[in-house]
Each structure stands twice: as C-alpha cells, then as structure tokens.
C-alpha cells in the first residue's frame, strides 16, 4: 500500500543478502518460516539482537516478538547467559565425552519438571523423534497418535497433518492421514493416526478402535504451531485416559517448557505425562533438545537399554552453559513469569480494544507470554482447533503484519504462529507496540 511504501525503512542490504542466499540455499533460508512466504515482502536479515530488539542488515531496529521462536525468554544477549557462554568457551567447545555441566543441567531439569531422568539432544526434532522410538521400544507397539496442526519437528512420522489444513484419508480408516511433506512415504504416515485437538470424543473413539496398537499419544500441551490453542479440561482428561490403554502420553514441551511456568505447561496445567520433550529455552539460544520421564521408561534408552539414540554434539558444553544460566536466572526470579504474563495480557487487551475500535474482526488467544490474534469473527478464546484457526483471513493478517513491520515491530510472520514475549519487554515497548498496532489496523480499513 501507499502508506507502507512511504514509511518503510530501507531493505537494500536484506534484499541483496536474500538474492545471494537464494543462489546457495533452498529458498534463501535455513528454516522455511524465515522466508516470509505467507506474508510476502523481503525477509529481514538480522545483524544483531539485544534485549527486546533485533537490528537488521540495513540498520533498522525492531521490537522483537519472535524471541528466536521461543528460546530467548530472558531477552537477547542476557548478561548471565553471555557470561556463562564466554566462561565455557575458555575450556573448549566440544569433548565427545561427558562433562560436569550436563550433569548439572540434567539435575536442574529433572528437579524442576518432576522427572527422574533426562537425555539431551541437539534439537527439539531429535527429542520428539527419540521419545517416540523410546515409546515404541518400551511398549512394543507401532502406532502413534498426534493432533491435527500440532508440530513436533520434522521427523518423517511426525510430518503428518503438521500444520496443513487438509484432512485426507488415504485408506479411509479412522485417523488415517496424509503426509504434510513430499518425501514422507505413505507407509510411514500410516503409522501415525491423527485426531482433532480439543476433541475428547474423537480421541476416545480412536483409542477404542486402535488403542491396543498405540505406543504413544504426543501432543502440544498448549499449541503454538497452529497459532495459540489452549486445551480444555475435558480434552486433558481424555489425554490421560490413553494411559489406561497402555499408551504412553508424551507432552511436547519444546515450546511451552519453562515458558508457561518454571515447571512448564505440565506444571501449570497439572498434567501427568509419561515422557516430556524440551528444546528452545533449555538451550538458552544455543542448539539443544531433551526428553525425559520416569526411570523405568528412560532406562530403556541406550547404553542402559535397547533403544538406540546418540549425538556427536549432544550435551555440548556451550549449550549446557547457556541453558544452565537461563534456567538458573528464571528460578532466581520468582516474579518473572508474572511480569511476562502481565505484559502479554496488556498487549492482548490492547489488541482486543483497538481491533474492536477499528472494526477489524480479531479473535485473540493468550496464555502466559504466548499470544495469537486470529483474524476472524469469533469470540476471544473460542478458537480451539486447527480447523477453527484455519478460518482466519490470512490476507488481512499479512497486511497487518506488514503494517507492523514498517513501524518497527517484528511480529511472527504467519497467522498460525504464537508470539513470544521476553523479560526484556517493558512498558516502553508495550506502548510503542500498541501505537503501531492501532496504525496497522487503521491501514486495513484504508
Ligand atoms: N516441538 C514443538 C512443539 C516445536 O514448537 C518445535 C519447533 O518449533 C519442535 C518440536 C522442533 O524443535 P526444533 O526446531 O528444535 O527441531
């Protein structure tokens, strides 16, 4: 639009980098959402990040609501995390042998999450993939159940209905679903059954028919990957009923772990999963994942047990140091989660009011420091499944996103994502954000 063209900061350097990047990297990025395909325009190449701010290659500063997609709960370049990494750096970057920090982080994670044992990986994808192998090894069963629109990383068996709006029955069987990606054989996808999030009856019916074959039911305890979806108490009860059928319940807390409380969504919502997966925050911005649970199950993992899982860089000393510093800082500041929630609630309230004033239909879902405004005409909090979320006006969202970006607000570049507020966000950023929100909403009417 005219307004965007007039006020947009320069993007020459990002454009030049994007051109070079596309020559040597598929789509010019190392993870698809970064390419801005669902909102259009030039993805900003980021030069540096401090506190609540990103600075791009052209020198424009943005208030950051991505937080590297979750890890940066303390804000970017937090002094405690930076110090811990620099300290670790003096002693070498990888040993290929065990070290003290892995023990310390494992002790901290198991204590905070009420698990017995934890195994570190290098990404959330490895954590969920390994947790499923463990569940299959432990139960001797083959099938897994996941929920439509829940994302658990990019392992073959999990790229099924992982954010696609289409429900396709390959063989017409209950819960059968299509792969979300080329390159995932239908035979793999056939081992993954799909149910609708927040549909307790659907899950009960599926388990009644196939429960004896199900090794695990994996779920996002609060969904971030279809936009924010909050589970109903009835759905959480149905999830726990799968344990009666001998299936393991796996809470994928890669996004919500240490985000929704110091004890994760599991602690906040009072869940009793058999296994939990983590990533993001436990690495403090360095590459980490982890999975854990009670000793009886975790002792099936090699070298103790028969389920193989390994990693050259697993337990990497720099990543462990960043994770330890992050979790210790979170634990030392009991009010931090309240401050995050207060900020995000104010942002949510502001959004609701401003959208109503502008006459733009928006339905906001928010919990803790996670928030998604769905551009659709529905009561706030009523979007509960991927099917609900998919009714959103993605064009309106994209235009709104561009309006924010041109005003220095870096929102998540997709309707179907959560934003992440950090402890570095203050009243100054909140006011600036709401001003931009008001103007971007006005653009939609202009
Ligand atoms: N599980 C959830 C809930 C996630 O949000 C993500 C990533 O966004 C993953 C798993 C995969 O983690 P990673 O990107 O570290 O492989």
- Point out the ligand 1 atom lying closest to the alpha carbon of residue 125: 16
pLDDT at 169 over 70: no
Residue among 29, 130, 152 to mutate when testing ligand 1 (max atoms within 8 A of CB): 152
For tokens 């002094």, the residue is 79
pLDDT above 90: percentage of residues in the chain: 89
pLDDT, position 179: 81
Measure 278 CA to ligand 1 centroid, in angstroms: 8
Residues 274-278 have a mean pLDDT of: 98
pLDDT, position 394: 95
pLDDT, position 164: 37
Both structure tokens of 237: 């009860």
pLDDT, tens digit, for every residue of 6-33?
Answer: 468 999 999 999 999 999 999 999 999 9
What letter does residue 192 receive in the DSSP assignment? E
Other C-beta atoms lying within 10 Å of the C-beta of residue 161: 27
Of residues 173 and 229, more confidently modeled: 229
pLDDT, position 173: 54
pLDDT, tens digit, for every residue of 296-321?
Answer: 999 999 999 999 999 999 999 999 99
Residues 181-207 have a mean pLDDT of: 94
pLDDT at 168 over 90: no
What domains are there in the chain, each with its CATH number? 2-64+335-445 (3.90.1150.10), 79-332 (3.40.640.10)
pLDDT at 257 over 70: yes
Residues 332, 256 contacting (CB under 8 angstroms): no
Catalytic residue among 53, 151, 343, 410: 151
Both structure tokens of 293: 């649970």
The Cα-based distances of 284 to 77, 81, 129, 208, 381 in angstroms read: 10, 7, 21, 41, 30
Residue having the nearest C-alpha atom to atom 1 of ligand 1: 152
Q: Name which of 17-26, 78-87, 149-158, 339-348 the model is least confident about.
A: 149-158
Q: What's the rounded Cα separation, in Å, for the pair 337 and 418? A: 17
pLDDT, position 163: 59
pLDDT, position 359: 97
Other C-beta atoms lying within 10 Å of the C-beta of residue 10: 12
Q: What's the rounded Cα separation, in Å, for the pair 416 and 393? A: 11
CA dihedral of residues 387, 393, 397, 398 (deg, nearest 10): 110
Q: How confident is the model at residue 446 (pLDDT cuts 50, 70, 90)?
A: confident
Measure 127 CA to ligand 1 centroid, in angstroms: 9
Measure 216 CA to ligand 1 centroid, in angstroms: 18
Cis peptide bond prior to 161, omega within 30° of 0: no
Q: What's the rounded Cα separation, in Å, for the pair 282 and 305? A: 25
pLDDT at 412 over 70: yes
For residue 146, indicate whether it is catalytic. Answer: no
Residue among 255, 256, 281 to mutate when testing ligand 1 (max atoms within 8 A of CB): 255
Measure 435 CA to ligand 1 centroid, in angstroms: 32
**Check: complex ipTM more than 0.95:** yes
Residues 372, 228 contacting (CB under 8 angstroms): yes
Q: Is the pTM of this model over 0.90?
A: yes
Catalytic residue among 252, 274, 388, 443: 252
pLDDT at 165 over 60: no
pLDDT, position 166: 33
Measure 276 CA to ligand 1 centroid, in angstroms: 13
- Point out the ligand 1 atom lying closest to the alpha carbon of residue 220: 3
Q: Name which of 141-145, 153-157, 406-410 the model is least confident about.
A: 153-157
Pocket of ligand 1 (CB under 6 A): 69, 123-125, 128, 151-153, 220, 224-225, 252, 254-255, 279, 289
Instruction: Report long-range pairs for 1-7 (Cβ below 8 Å, ≥24 apart).
Output: 1/399, 1/443, 1/446, 3/403, 3/406, 3/443, 3/446, 4/402, 4/403, 4/406, 4/443, 7/406, 7/407
Measure 33 CA to ligand 1 centroid, in angstroms: 13
Catalytic residue among 53, 117, 280, 393: 280
What letter does residue 189 receive in the DSSP assignment? H
- Point out the ligand 1 atom lying closest to the alpha carbon of residue 123: 15
**Residue 149 phi/psi, 5° resolution?**
85, -5
Task: Report helix, strand or coil for 215.
Answer: strand
Q: How confident is the model at residue 54 (pLDDT cuts 50, 70, 90)?
A: very high
Residues 115, 277 contacting (CB under 8 angstroms): no
For residue 151, indicate whether it is catalytic. Answer: yes
CA dihedral of residues 343, 438, 225, 21 (deg, nearest 10): -110
Q: How confident is the model at residue 253 (pLDDT cuts 50, 70, 90)?
A: very high
Strand intervals (E) in 87-208: 117-121, 143-147, 192-195
pLDDT, position 6: 46
Residue having the nearest C-alpha atom to atom 10 of ligand 1: 152
Task: Measure the N-to-C terminal CA separation of the chain; round to a whole number of Å.
Answer: 9
pLDDT, tens digit, for every residue of 80-108?
Answer: 999 999 999 999 999 999 999 999 999 99
β-bridge partners, 63: 53, 409
- Point out the ligand 1 atom lying closest to the alpha carbon of residue 256: 3
pLDDT, tens digit, for every residue of 235-244?
Answer: 999 999 999 9
pLDDT at 294 over 70: yes
Task: Report helix, strand or coil for 426.
Answer: coil
**Residue 219 phi/psi, 5° resolution?**
-150, 155
pLDDT, position 162: 75
For residue 280, indicate whether it is catalytic. Answer: yes
Return mean pLDDT, the chain. 94
């Amino acid at each position: 639009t005219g307004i965007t063209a007039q006020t947009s900061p320069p993007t020459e350097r990002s454009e030049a980098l994007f051109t070079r990047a596309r020559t040597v990297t598929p789509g010019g990025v190392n993870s698809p959402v970064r390419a801005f395909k669902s909102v259009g325009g030039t993805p900003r190449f980021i030069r540096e990040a401090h506190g609540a701010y990103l600075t791009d290659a052209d020198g424009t500063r943005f208030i950051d609501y991505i937080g590297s997609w979750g890890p940066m709960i303390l804000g970017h370049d937090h002094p405690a995390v930076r110090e811990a990494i620099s300290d670790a750096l003096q002693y070498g970057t990888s040993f290929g042998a065990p070290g003290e920090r892995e023990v310390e982080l494992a002790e901290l994670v198991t204590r905070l999450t009420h698990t017995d044992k934890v195994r570190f990986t290098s990404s959330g994808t490895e954590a969920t993939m390994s947790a499923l192998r463990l569940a299959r090894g432990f139960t001797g069963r083959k099938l897994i159940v996941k929920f439509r629109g829940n994302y658990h990383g990019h392992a073959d068996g999990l790229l099924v209905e992982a954010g696609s709006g289409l429900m396709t029955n390959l063989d017409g069987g209950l819960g059968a679903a299509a792969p979300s990606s080329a390159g995932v054989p239908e035979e793999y996808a056939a081992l993954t059954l799909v149910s609708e999030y927040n549909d307790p009856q659907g899950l009960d019916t599926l388990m009644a028919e196939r429960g004896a074959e199900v090794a695990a039911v994996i779920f996002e305890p609060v969904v971030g990957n279809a936009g924010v979806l909050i589970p109903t108490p009835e759905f959480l009860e149905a999830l726990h009923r799968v344990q009666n059928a001998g299936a393991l319940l796996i809470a994928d807390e890669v996004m919500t772990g240490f985000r929704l409380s110091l004890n994760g969504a599991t602690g906040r919502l009072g869940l009793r999963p058999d296994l939990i997966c983590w990533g993001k925050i436990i690495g403090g911005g360095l590459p980490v994942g982890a999975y854990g649970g009670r000793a009886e199950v975790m002792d099936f993992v090699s070298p103790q047990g028969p389920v193989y899982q390994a990693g050259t860089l697993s337990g990497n000393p720099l990543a462990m140091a960043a994770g330890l510093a992050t979790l210790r800082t979170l634990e030392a500041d009991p009010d931090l989660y309240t401050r995050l929630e207060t900020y995000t609630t104010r942002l949510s309230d502001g959004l609701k009011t401003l959208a109503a004033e502008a006459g733009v239909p928006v339905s906001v879902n928010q919990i803790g420091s996670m928030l998604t405004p769905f551009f659709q005409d529905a009561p706030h909090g009523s979007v509960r499944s991927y099917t609900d979320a998919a009714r959103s006006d993605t064009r309106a969202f994209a235009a709104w996103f561009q309006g924010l970006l041109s005003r220095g607000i870096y929102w998540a570049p997709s309707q179907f994502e959560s934003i992440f507020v950090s402890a570095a966000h203050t009243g100054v950023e909140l006011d600036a954000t709401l001003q931009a929100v008001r103007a971007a909403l006005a653009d939609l009417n202009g």
